[in-house]
């Protein structure tokens, strides 16, 4: 780390101890250093080496993520999207229905959706959304991350049941929340 970034980091840490704000020009050397491509890539490598992803499998009680991925890949990506690790989440969740972990090349879908009450198109939509994260990787610009670019949003609306799935999720989030809380008791 360059000396200027070291000095800025020291000032940042001391200011936190004393709960004082620092001027941006004081913190800028450290901010620029950690936003650099080299440091971001190193951070990803460290997470990949030290971290691990818990996968519970693709076969749920009602839906198979492998089957859904293959269908969506054929329909929307001409079978060209490389298949990441797929899994249902370890626990039922209602806030995060799916996520793509680029570090571990995995897509995790919330187990709360693996229900006879959940229409197939809803799970397909959530999985399709996560597949778009593989197709449209995160863009880094001036130290900021952009996950949902305009191209991502355009492709997301190509899903044939887009509005119907969005509406179902909005109307059923309370039921999903109750199911999660009931299970926690």
Tens-digit pLDDT profile for residues 28-64: 888 888 877 787 778 767 766 776 666 778 899 999 9
In the chain the domains, ranked by start, together with CATH numbers, are 3-50 (no CATH), 65-184 (3.30.2010.10)
Specify the pLDDT at position 125.
97
Query: Per DSSP, what are the bridge partners of residue 59?
Result: 64
Burial of 183 (0-12, 13-18, 19+ CB in 10 A): exposed
CA 163 to chain centre: 21
Tens-digit pLDDT profile for residues 141-181: 777 788 899 999 999 999 999 999 999 999 988 887 777 76
H/E stretch holding 163 reads: helix 162-184
Q: Tokens in use for 85?
A: 């690790």
pTM (2 d.p.): 0.72
Terminal alpha carbon distance of the chain: 49
On average, the pLDDT of the chain sits at 88
> How many C-alpha atoms does 118 have within 13 Å on its Cβ side?
29
**Of residues 6 and 70, more confidently modeled:** 70
């Amino acid at each position: 780390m360059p000396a200027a970034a070291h000095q800025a980091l020291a000032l940042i840490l001391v200011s936190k101890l004393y709960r004082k704000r620092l001027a941006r020009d004081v913190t800028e050397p450290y901010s620029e250093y950690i936003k650099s491509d080299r440091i971001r890539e190193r951070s990803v490598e460290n997470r990949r080496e030290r971290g691990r992803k818990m996968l519970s499998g693709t076969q749920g009680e009602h839906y198979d993520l492998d089957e859904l991925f293959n269908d969506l890949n054929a329909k929307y990506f001409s079978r060209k999207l490389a298949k990441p690790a797929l899994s249902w989440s370890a626990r039922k969740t209602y806030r995060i229905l799916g996520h793509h972990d680029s570090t571990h090349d995995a897509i995790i879908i919330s187990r709360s959706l693996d229900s006879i009450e959940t229409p197939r198109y809803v799970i397909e939509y959530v999985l399709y959304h996560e597949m778009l994260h593989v197709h449209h990787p995160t863009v880094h610009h001036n130290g900021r991350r952009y996950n949902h670019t305009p191209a991502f949003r355009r492709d997301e609306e190509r899903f044939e049941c887009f509005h119907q799935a969005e509406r179902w999720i909005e109307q059923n989030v309370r039921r999903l929340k109750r199911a999660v809380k009931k299970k926690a008791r």
